[in-house]
Every structure is written in C-alpha cells, then in structure tokens.
C-alpha cells in the first residue's frame, strides 16, 4: 500500500510522521509499527523526542520515503509506503523534481492524508482559500486517477488541535475545506474521514490517520481476494461438472488438459488466494474494531 500526504508548508506533516511513529513503535494495543530501515526509525524517534520537548523538526527540503511494516501480536502482516514532501511541492510547477514525484505518488496512492493547519485556517480563512482550492483540486485529480478497483481512503487531518478552542473556532478552521469534505463524502469509491490531531507533549489521535487508512485498505483487499477465490472455486466447480470418460479420453489423445485436471488447477488457485487472505483476516477484524472504538 502507498499512502501519500499533502498539505501546505508548516501544516505539520513531518511532525506528524515522527509522533505517529513514536506512538506506534512501542506497540499500540496489539499493533506495532517499524521502519524497514532502522536508521530511519531512529531519526523519527529522535525528532519525536525533540517535539515532546518543544523542538520541532526543520522544514522538509526534499522528498522522504518511509517503508513501514505493521505487526499484529508480533507477527508482521502488512507493508506500506509513506512519502513526506516539502509543502511547497504542491504549488510549484510540475517541472520541479519533487513536484513531479508528488504527482506520481498521488496518482499511485492507495490512501491520501490531507493535512490542514487548523490554527492558520481558523485565524485567516480568506488567506488560505486559494490553498484550500488547490488541496481540493489535487484530491479530485487523485481520485479520478485512482484505478485498481479498490476504494480509496482519504483523511483530512486538522493539525495543531491544541491551539484551537471552542466550537466557533473549529467551525472557522473547518470551513475552508468544506468543499473537499463534501467531495470525498460523495465521491463513489472513496472512504472519508476528518480527524483532529495534536502533536505536542500530549499527542492525540496520531494513530488514527494511518491505522484508519490501513484498516480500510486491508479490509477491501480481503474482499477483493474473497471475490477472486469464489471465481476460482466457481470455475473449478464448472470444470468438475463437465468431467466425463469421453472428454478424458479425448484430452489424453490430444495431449490437452482434461476437465479433471482443469478443476484441480482452479481449486489450487483458489487455495493459493485463500492462503494470501488468511494472515490478514484476524488483524483486519481487530484493527477495524479498535479504530471504530477510538472514533466513537
């Protein structure tokens, strides 16, 4: 799975990566996250330590790609990629290398997290209107580009929730992306979520964007595998119903596959698909339950 994140400069993307990693690396309920590259993991933890002591990361200057592994009860069951960009890459011309890479990542994304600086949005909604339109257009484009038959999870993460107080301020903070919210709520084949997160000494909801995207993607993948398995079983059944002595003798004579061979081959494919599905089922169920509880 590939998760792409977009948001303006200083929206809190890099801060989020570090805090999310710190929350998940030691284990979150039965789930645990690890970077494939241990050096990258150590850097994220060092950044998270700084953030907890009010020292935030430097502005991102180039694209960083993180490869993560998710474990359930100490068993790795899912890999995913997450890319971090400098916020400016979203607005620059596509001739800029990282802007082109961002577009490619968005096109290939299986999940998108849109970061919105809630404090800035609430303070000056008109100043962020152009940026909000840009975020909406980028998501609309990514949704239209999305292929592969699986739904696309899209999260709007309102960052810096510690700086916003009261219902009125939240209404102001959420207003600039109202168009994007209704777009993702109504787009077919999109799972949508909005969540408020806080990345300071007392982080809040940092596990939600990542685990919610993973949870949907894994469940949709299981559904897809289940459909594939039934198709193979159906084909196996059809071939089995055509098994006969004449057909068998003809196949032997012609040196071709008999219906019995065909049925066995299809049943074997069905079993292979079931074997891919099996390790995902229990973790997916528990992940879904946990997220539903946390969002309730």
Q: Which is nearer to Mg ion, 13 or 103 (CB)?
A: 13
Strands (E), 233-289: none
**Residues with Cβ < 8 Å from 57, sequence gap 6 or more?**
14, 15, 18, 47, 50, 51
Query: Mutual orientation of helices 208-241 and 259-295 as an angle, nearest 10°?
Result: 160
Q: Which stretch binds ligand GTP (CB under 6 A): 4-12, 35-43, 216-224, 248-256?
A: 4-12
CB of 51 to Mg ion, least distance (A): 12
Angstrom distance (rounded) from CA 177 to CA 195: 13
Among 1, 21, 33, 86, binds ligand GTP (CB under 6 A): 86
Size of the site for ligand GTP (CB under 6 A): 21
The yes or no reply on residue 59 touching ligand GTP (CB under 6 A) is yes
CB of 217 to ligand GTP, least distance (A): 23
Q: Which stretch binds ligand GTP (CB under 6 A): 53-61, 96-104, 182-190, 255-263?
A: 53-61
Among 35, 57, 70, 114, binds ligand GTP (CB under 6 A): 57
Q: Which is nearer to Mg ion, 60 or 215 (CB)?
A: 60
Which residues of this chain interact with Mg ion, rule CB under 5 A? Answer: 13-14, 60
Angle at CA of residue 113, ends 16 and 61, nearest 5°: 55
* 3-state DSSP assignment of residue 167: helix
Region 235-254 residues binding ligand GTP, contact defined as CB under 6 A:
none
Q: Which is nearer to Mg ion, 60 or 159 (CB)?
A: 60
Q: Which is nearer to ligand GTP, 103 or 198 (CB)?
A: 198
Where does residue 166 fall: left (phi above 0), alpha (psi -120 to 50 degrees), or beta otherwise? left
Angstrom distance (rounded) from CA 70 to CA 77: 6
Region 257-296 residues binding ligand GTP, contact defined as CB under 6 A:
none
52 binds, among Mg ion, ligand GTP, none (CB under 5 to 8 A by kind): none
What's phi and psi for 73, nearest 5 deg?
45, 50
Q: Which stretch binds ligand GTP (CB under 6 A): 42-50, 51-59, 68-76, 175-183?
A: 51-59
Q: Which is nearer to Mg ion, 13 or 120 (CB)?
A: 13
CB 98 within 8 A of CB 85: yes
How far apart are the two ends of the chain, measured CA to CA in Å? 26
- State the pairing for strand pair 64-72/75-84: antiparallel
The yes or no reply on residue 83 touching ligand GTP (CB under 6 A) is no
Rounded to the nearest 10°, the torsion over CA 77, 184, 158, 167 is: -130
Q: Which stretch binds ligand GTP (CB under 6 A): 13-21, 129-137, 217-225, 266-274?
A: 13-21
Binding site for ligand GTP (CB under 6 A): 7, 9-15, 56-57, 59-60, 86-87, 159-160, 162-163, 198-200
């Amino acid at each position: 799975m590939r998760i792409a994140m977009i948001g303006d400069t200083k929206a809190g993307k890099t801060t989020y990566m570090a805090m999310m990693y710190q929350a998940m690396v030691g284990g979150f309920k039965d789930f645990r996250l690890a970077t494939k590259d241990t050096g990258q993991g150590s850097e994220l933890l060092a950044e998270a330590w700084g953030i907890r002591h009010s020292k935030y990361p430097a502005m991102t200057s180039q694209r960083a790609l993180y490869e993560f592994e998710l474990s359930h009860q100490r068993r790795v069951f899912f890999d995913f990629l997450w890319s971090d960009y400098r916020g400016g890459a979203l607005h620059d011309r596509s001739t800029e290398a990282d802007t082109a890479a961002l577009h490619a990542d968005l096109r290939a994304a299986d999940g998108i997290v849109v970061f919105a600086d809630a404090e800035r949005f609430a303070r000056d909604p008109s100043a962020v209107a152009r940026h909000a339109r840009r975020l909406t257009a980028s998501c609309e484009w990514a949704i239209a580009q999305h292929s592969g038959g699986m739904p696309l999870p899209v999260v709007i993460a309102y960052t810096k929730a510690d700086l916003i107080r009261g219902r009125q301020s939240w209404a102001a903070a959420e207003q600039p992306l109202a168009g994007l919210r209704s777009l993702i709520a109504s787009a077919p084949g999109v799972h949508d979520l909005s969540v408020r997160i806080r990345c300071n000494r007392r982080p809040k909801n940092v596990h939600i964007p990542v685990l919610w995207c993973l949870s949907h993607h894994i469940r949709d993948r299981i559904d897809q595998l289940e459909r594939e398995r039934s198709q193979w079983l159906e084909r196996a059944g059809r071939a089995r119903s055509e098994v006969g002595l004449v057909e068998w003798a003809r196949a032997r004579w012609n040196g071709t596959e008999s219906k019995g061979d065909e049925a066995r081959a299809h049943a074997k494919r069905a079993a292979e698909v079931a074997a891919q599905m099996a390790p995902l089922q229990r973790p997916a169920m528990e992940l879904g339950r946990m997220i539903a509880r946390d969002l309730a």
